[in-house]
Structure formats: structure tokens, C-alpha cells
Structure 1
Amino acid sequence: MNKFPYPPSTILSFLVLLVLFASVIIGLESETNSSRATQAEQTAPTSASQQQPQSRTVGFLRPTAPLSQEEIRDLRFMREEEKLARDVYSVLFQKWQLPIFQNIAQAEHKHTSAVLNVINRYGISDPAAGKPAGVYADAHLTKMYKDLIAKGQRSVEDALWVGGIIEEVDIDDLDKAISRTQRGDIIRVYRNIQLGSRNHLRGFAKSLAGLGRDYKPQHLPLESVTQILAGPMENNRPF
């Protein structure tokens, strides 16, 4: 009878290695199948009930809730009031060639355009569409424009006082419009315009001081104007 050529310990070690090798192969195959299943789940079409809504964060979406009649009137009015400021300053720059009128006219163009963006967002008709300088849907603004132009063309000093009253009235009207809305996008635009108006008022007061004239309130309370003029020029904010 022939004896087995390998000792029992060698045979046992061989069997252990064989079992370990088989376990590794099985584990790799299981992991591969699991990965394939995951990929299949990710690429498979999702049913309507499983689909998650995607959020849209680019820009402003047109709001679904309608504006109140007050909010609509305020937006239309502020669109034209900012246009009036631009129109008046443009005429006064042509008359007196003072850079302050040209610079602020450009700022007012941005202001009226910012209000127009809100008007378009809410689907409101634009009262200033197609209207040239000095023409407004609001009869009060039409009269105001004529009165301001008449005064501003009398002298440089009168023109600077015209600038002051425009900015005071604008600040006051914006305060009232802000009090009549709770919509953040509208309030943000109004407050940004107000910031510009405060800076413009400071600019006109400084120009009058250069002529030896102290600025006196023409529309706002003395306390409000004093506080504005005592403050520094403010940094513009994006609309």
C-alpha cells in the first residue's frame, strides 16, 4: 500500500488557502452585483409620484399672489416720480452745465428702471411707456414738472434748491409707499432708492453751501433733514 506523498499538515494548509480564495471571489462578485444594481436604480426613470420638485433660485419668479390696489398705485406713481427727477435734472444740466445734475440724472434713470423691473415682474402696465420727458400719466406730476423747470431755470441757486425739494418729496413718498406693502422685493427697491435720495440731498446741500447758502428743509420735518445731512454719504446697494 502506497503512502500519501504529502503530510497531513500541508494538506490542511492547502485547504484553508482554497477556502479563503473562494471567499474573496464570492465577495468581489457580490460587490459588483450590488454596484450594478445601484447604477440601475440611479438611471432608471422615476415615476411621477417619486419625482421631487426642483427649486428655482435664479432671479425672481413672477409672484402668484396679486398686489393690492394701493401697491399697484404706488409702483406706478414711483415709476413716474423717478422719471420726473431724471427729466428735471437733465433739463437743468443742459441749462447750467453743472456735473451734479448730470450725475444725479443718471442715478434717477437707474431708479426709474428699477421700479420698472418690479412693475414688469408683477405684470402691471407701465404708465411711463412711450412718454417723452415732461409727460406723465399723473396730472399732479405734470404740473410739478412744469413748476420745477420754471424755478430751476431762474438761477443756479434756484436749480439747486429744486434738486433739494425733489429729493425731500421722493424720500417722503417712498416712506409712505413702504408703509403700504409687506413685500420684501418691493421694499428693497424702495429703500435702495431712498438711500440714493439721501445722498442726492446731501450733494445739493453741499453745492448750496459752496454758494454760501445753508440748506433749509422744504418738505420734510427739520429733524429728518438735519439727521440726513449730518450723516455720511452711503454706499449704493444692488437693486
Structure 2
Amino acid sequence: MRYGRFAQSAEPVQPALVDELKFMLEEEKLARDVYLQLAEDTDLFIFSQIAASEQKHMDTLVRQAERFHIDVDDILVQEVGDFINPDLAILYTDLLTLDTQDVTQALQIGVMIETLDIEDLTANLQDPQLDALDQVFANLLQGSYQHLDAFNLALA
């Protein structure tokens, strides 16, 4: 399915909502892409399982983009490991320069990603400009807490 190329919305969408929705979509892509690499490097099922969950998070955000007539094709056409946001591109590279074949290090990378995601989603829930996405962000936040718990349990 091809996303984007939507008719103009009757009401203009707040620029903050557009920016944050795109950022969160790309942050979920970062998580998915890193977990796919960690699954390959470690052969741990937890990474492929959570990568699939991150894809569902991306799909949820794409549906929200459709709802608000926001074109996110520029993000969706990026290959695994490629990002538009330069900070996420650097983070992806930095995370994968760690010893990703070490199981403990790989699980700690998962903890780092989920902690970042939780911080960003929590901040979004406190921003009144993003109220239209509160339920979506709350659901994603719950998923991130579950992922964090899974990584911490695996580390224990």
C-alpha cells in the first residue's frame, strides 16, 4: 500500500503535530531497524519479536498520518538504517558501533532505546499542541513500557 498524496484537510493541522508525528514515526523506525540488526547479531528471539511490535507502532502512526492528511512517504521509503532526521541517523550509527554481538550489551541497547521512547512519548502527552494524538501516544507508551520490562527481565 502506498501512503501519502492526500487531499488537503479542511482544517490546517498544527505544525507541532505534523513534526512530532513524523519524528515519532521515525523514532519507531529506529527502534525497529536496530532490533532487526540485533536479532541478526544475537539470534535472540526477543529482538525479532519486539521489532515486529515496533512495525505495528509504525503502522499505527501511519494511520494517524492518514487521518490528518500528513504525507510520510519520505520516511517510509527509507531503507533499514537510513533516516531523514540527522540525530536519529547518528543515534542509529552510535548504537550499532557498540558490541551488538554481546548479548548483555545488545539487551542494554534495547533498554536505552525504550527509555528514550518513553521520555519522548511522556513529553508528547504533556504538550497541549499534541492533544489530538494523546490516545495513540498513551498506547505507544504502554507498549514501550512492556518492551522495557522484557529487556530488563532478559537482563536479570
Q: TM-score, normalised by structure 1?
A: 0.59
Q: In structure 2, what is the Cα distance between the partners aligned to 1:200 and 1:150?
A: 22
Cα deviation code 1:177-216 (max 9, x no counterpart): 2222221xx211111111010001011111111xxxxxxx
Q: In structure 1, what is the Cα distance between the partners aligned to 2:76 and 2:155?
A: 35
1:158 and 2:71 are equivalent in the alignment: no
Q: In structure 1, what is the Cα distance between the partners aligned to 2:101 and 2:41?
A: 10
Q: In structure 2, what is the Cα distance between the partners aligned to 1:140 and 1:149?
A: 14
CA contact (8 A) 2:27 2:88 kept: yes
Q: In structure 1, what is the Cα distance between the partners aligned to 2:103 and 2:54?
A: 20
Structure 2 counterpart of 1:171, one-letter code:
I
What does 1:1-20 correspond to in 2, within 5 Å? none
Aligned residue among 128, 131, 135 for 2:78: 131
Q: In structure 1, what is the Cα distance between the partners aligned to 2:25 and 2:148?
A: 19
Q: In structure 2, what is the Cα distance between the partners aligned to 1:112 and 1:161?
A: 22
CA contact (8 A) 2:42 2:101 kept: no
- Count of residues paired in the alignment: 146
CA contact (8 A) 1:72 1:124 kept: yes
Aligned residue among 117, 124, 136 for 1:177: 124
Decide whether aligned partners of structure 1 residues 160 and 82 sit closer, same or farther in structure 2, where only a CA change above 3 A counts.
same
Question: Which ranges in structure 1 are unaligned for 5 or more consecutive residues?
Answer: 1-61, 210-239
Q: TM-score, normalised by structure 2?
A: 0.88
Offset, 1:128: 1.1
Offset, 1:73: 0.7
Structure 2 counterpart of 1:173, one-letter code:
D
Q: In structure 2, what is the Cα distance between the partners aligned to 1:195 and 1:63?
A: 30
What does 1:179-198 correspond to in 2, within 5 Å? 179-180=126-127, 181-183=130-132, 186-198=133-145
Structure 2 counterpart of 1:69, one-letter code:
P
Question: Which ranges in structure 2 are unaligned for 5 or more consecutive residues?
Answer: 1-7
CA contact (8 A) 1:153 1:159 kept: yes
Q: In structure 1, what is the Cα distance between the partners aligned to 2:69 and 2:9?
A: 9
Q: In structure 2, what is the Cα distance between the partners aligned to 1:102 and 1:154?
A: 15
Q: In structure 1, what is the Cα distance between the partners aligned to 2:134 and 2:51?
A: 22
What does 1:64-213 correspond to in 2, within 5 Å? 64-126=10-72, 127-180=74-127, 181-183=130-132, 186-209=133-156
- RMSD across aligned positions (CA): 1.5
Decide whether aligned partners of structure 1 residues 152 and 121 sit closer, same or farther in structure 2, where only a CA change above 3 A counts.
farther
